[in-house]
Amino acid sequence: MNKLKDGKYLIVNRASGDRVGVAAIDPGFTRYAVGRAPKHLEKHELPSVTWTVTNKKDDLFELKVEDGFAIANNDAVFAPPKGGEQLWRVVYREGNKAYTIELEEKNEPMGWVLRGQDMQVKLAVLPSTKSKPPQFFGTDIWHFEHVGN
């Protein structure tokens, strides 16, 4: 059962505890890339990390930060202004007590991952156990921390 409601959230990687956001300037990763918010940056350099989450149908959501919607581009996630909208399947994973963020149109779960020392959120196949409910790697699951409506 999906527990996510419309509102403003911080999206936090389960494994690293890093919030993800987008920066219009280049703080060490590609412009408008969705990535972890580095802790060493000056306040004016920090990426925006507050996301507007809007349910469109069932478990399909728009994810917007600043003026850009999260979109897939090759194997990475970006949020450029006026970059178009994309729906993401946000699935509550009971076994992990967290969410996967997946491409809507894929048959096998392919979604947001933040692995190793990567600064940018990438797209990759989401391996899981065969157990019921399935378990996912912490690098591939996310917490949505509600911060407002």
DSSP state of 89: E
* 137 has a pLDDT exceeding 90: yes
Per-chain mean pLDDT for the chain = 83
Residue count of the chain: 149
Q: How confident is the model at residue 146 (pLDDT cuts 50, 70, 90)?
A: very high
Cβ-contact 71, 86 below 8 angstroms: yes
Tens-place pLDDT, residues 44-103 = 555 678 899 999 998 999 999 888 899 998 888 988 877 778 999 999 998 899 999 999
Among 17-21, 54-58, 77-81, 104-108, top mean pLDDT goes to: 54-58
As a CATH number, domain 7-148 is: 2.80.10.50
Strand partners, 85: none
Q: Does pTM surpass 0.75?
A: yes
Domain ranges for the chain, please list them. 7-148
Q: How confident is the model at residue 144 (pLDDT cuts 50, 70, 90)?
A: very high
